[in-house]
Structure 1
């Protein structure tokens, strides 16, 4: 069993391949929560994965594209990405996303 309580200041930021950063906050085999930080203009490149993803815009403004449809989301907004749909984001200003993945992303723990 992994920790059931998590303190963000105890978690390490990891650079992402697209130039942003992430830190895994908490996870089990069934669910994972990850915080992503973007500088203004930062891009989360279009990609897909088998995990269902639910995301909360904690800070900033993002252009979010899911399955060819784009929308501008601000702090307090959220979105969901069904399994295997192509999606990505662009930070219109510096910001943070808090993403949940089901099941967990083993690749984020390597």
Structure 2
């Protein structure tokens, strides 16, 4: 890592669309951790899935219905949730919104 890698501008981050109404961009990462911004249109769904990474998410904008291991709660701006490894989880945007997701270790498949 060089000193210039310590600060990242959002201008250079490419958006990808993994699901209808959902776009994401990698904000920054090291092998041990990754930060991703995910934008949702109202009603868009982040489908139920699981992965071996720990995930912590912050609701930066909007509100979401979040399901983790069969338990569902609604979270508004400023709320957060954490997903231990391998638990099935997903979200539904109750309105247009954004999540900031942190993964440890980084999601290598997002880099392809």
Output the TM-score relative to the length of structure 1: 0.96
1:96 corresponds in structure 2 to: 98
CA positional deviation for 1:9: 2.2
Task: State the 4+ residue runs in structure 1 displaced beyond 4 angstroms.
Answer: none
Distance 2:26 2:85 in 1: 20
CA positional deviation for 1:15: 1.0
CA RMSD after TM alignment: 0.9
CA positional deviation for 1:10: 2.1
Q: Bigger radius of gyration, 1 or 2? A: 2
Stretches of structure 2 lacking an aligned partner (at least 5 in a row):
none
2:23 is the counterpart of 1:21:
yes
Output the TM-score relative to the length of structure 2: 0.94
* Number of aligned residue pairs: 109
Three-state SS of the structure 2 residue aligned to 1:6 is coil
1:54 corresponds in structure 2 to: 56
2:85 corresponds in structure 1 to: 83
1:107 corresponds in structure 2 to: 109
Stretches of structure 1 lacking an aligned partner (at least 5 in a row):
none
Distance 2:87 2:11 in 1: 32
2:69 corresponds in structure 1 to: 67
More helix by share: 2
1:12 corresponds in structure 2 to: 14
